[in-house]
Amino acid sequence: MRILLLSDIHANLEALEASLAAAPSFDLVANLGDIVGYGASPNEVADRSRSLGEIFVRGNHDKAAIGLIDLQDFNPVAGLAALWTRDHLTEQNLQWLHALPQGPVALKDHPQVQLVHGSPLDEDEYVVSLGDALTPLMASSALITFFGHTHLQGGFFLNDSADGFRPEYRTVGQAESACLQLKPDTRYMINPGSVGQPRDGDWRAASALFDYSPPIYQRAWPPAWLLDDDQPRAIALQSVPQVPSASSAALVRPSAIQGFLSTSLPEASDSTAPL
């Protein structure tokens, strides 16, 4: 079973389509939330996401779009984007977003794998550092937790020791690969990264492919605001078949983008405000 993991699309239709085009073959799609927010295509992305499958957890921007979050808790850019999104979503998509489940959600037929947006303990928590990850790793009964929210591809593990990991990309415009060995008796939190608004310094869309016999990461695309060159570059992150019986992860990123729109949203000045 090969499951494509998408997170933090943020109404970026072009990034979503590029990620899908660059993805290896897959059987299912799991969406880790923040389908809307920031981007200009909330209805198109909601429709496309719904057409891809039925495995979802909600994100904070999804909740903001339907009025479940006080926008005073958002930074100004995120708040304005949420109001714009709310005004432009169709009634059907508003109702659909309202029905999205809160994580964690167990992956059907794979009880050792769970899906969340932020953390298994708090759907809105940012798991950025190893210190953030330790408590949910120790508290979770699942061996593998896929999460989003931070827009940072990589993750954390816990066994006799604990550490974090990030894929390294050394080139622009050509294929490269990195390896991640999944160890037995180890708990993982793995973030596929953001499709629509990466914040890890590489502005190509990020996603992951989880192959459950064996996690595969994947990065693909020209960035959200992109535009000319969409030649894909592949980054495969393969793992030995071990967790729970066997798992692998692979990343795909297209080549560098040659042009960017001048209307991209600025970074928030307050790093503590929800994004």
pLDDT range class, residue 273, cuts 50, 70, 90 = very low
| Domains contained in the chain, number | 1
Q: Is the pLDDT of residue 79 over 50?
A: yes
Tell me if 274 is assigned to some domain: no
Tell me if 153 is assigned to some domain: yes
Q: How many CA atoms are closer than 13 Å to the CA of 116, on its beta-carbon side?
A: 24
More confident residue, 148 or 221: 148
The one-letter code for the residue type at 39 is: G
CATH code at 142? 3.60.21.10
Pairing between strand 154-158 and 162-165? antiparallel
Tokens of 101: 């489940």
More confident residue, 240 or 120: 120
- pLDDT single digits (tens) 163-194: 999 887 776 654 344 556 678 889 999 999 99
Q: What is the pTM of this model?
A: 0.80
Domain that holds residue 201: 2-34+102-252
Tell me if 235 is assigned to some domain: yes
Tell me if 188 is assigned to some domain: yes
Query: In the predicted model, what is the mean pLDDT of the chain?
Result: 79
Q: What is the pLDDT of residue 187?
A: 95
Q: How far is CA 115 from CA 40, 123, 188, 268, 271, in A?
A: 26, 10, 12, 27, 25
Tell me if 44 is assigned to some domain: no
Helices then strands, counting H and E runs in the chain, come out as: 6, 14
Tell me if 179 is assigned to some domain: yes
Tell me if 69 is assigned to some domain: no
Q: What does the pLDDT average to over 96-115? A: 93
